[in-house]
Structure 1
Amino acid sequence: MKKLSLLLLLSVFVFCGCSDDDDDVKNEVVINFENQLPQSESELKAEEGVKENPADYYYKWNFKDPNNLVEFAHYYAEWGFGGGFTYTNKTDVTTPGYTNISAITAKGKNGKVYFTSHSSSFTPAQITNLHPDKYEFKGAWITNTTYAYLAIKDGNDGNSPSRVKRFSNGDWFKITAVGYRTNGTEIGRVDFYLADFRDGKTKIVNTWEWFDWSYIEDAAYIQFELSSTDNSEYENEGVLVSSMNTPSYFCLDGITLIED
Structure 2
Amino acid sequence: MSRIKTRFDALKAEGRGALIPYLQAYDPDLETSLEILRGMPAAGADLIEIGVPFSDPSADGPTIQAAALRGLKAGATLTKVLEMVRAFREGDNETPIILMGYLNPIDSYGPARFCKDAAQAGVDGLIIVDLPKEEADLIEGDAQGSGLDIIRLIAPNTPDARLPYVLDGASGFIYYVSITGITGTRTASEDELANALPRIRKMSDLPIAIGFGIRTPEQAAYASRTGDAAVVASALISTLATTLENGRPTAQTVPSVLTQLKEIASAVRGA
Could you tell me the TM-score, scaled by structure 2's length?
0.23
Highest CA radius of gyration, 1 or 2?
Answer: 1
Structure whose residues are more often strand by fraction: 1
Could you tell me the TM-score, scaled by structure 1's length?
0.24
Structure whose residues are more often helix by fraction: 2
